[in-house]
Amino acid sequence: MVKKIVTRFAVAKKTAKSGEAVYRSPRIYLPTKLTDDSVFPFKEGDLLMVKVDGRRLIVQRVRKPERRTEVANEQRQK
């Protein structure tokens, strides 16, 4: 069981076709040694919420809303 692993935060940069704008794509690499572990809490395709709490990054699975009204209700509650 892998409980901790050291990884990197990286920013990939891509120039637009027009050559003027540069787009940044921040990424956190999660090694397969971690993600293939049976206790890893997420599966491919899961909807995730990411929050910054001080110096911590919190990642949680969120359930997919059943209906449009649920989405509207969730947004009103925030």
pLDDT of 22-64, one tens digit each?
Answer: 899 999 999 999 999 999 999 999 999 999 999 999 999 998 7
Q: Are 39 and 1 in contact (CB under 8 A)?
A: yes
pLDDT at 19: 78
pTM greater than 0.85 = no
pLDDT at 53: 96
Retrieve residue 34's tokens: 């971690």
**Backbone phi and psi for residue 52, each to the nearest 5 degrees, phi listed first:** -105, 125
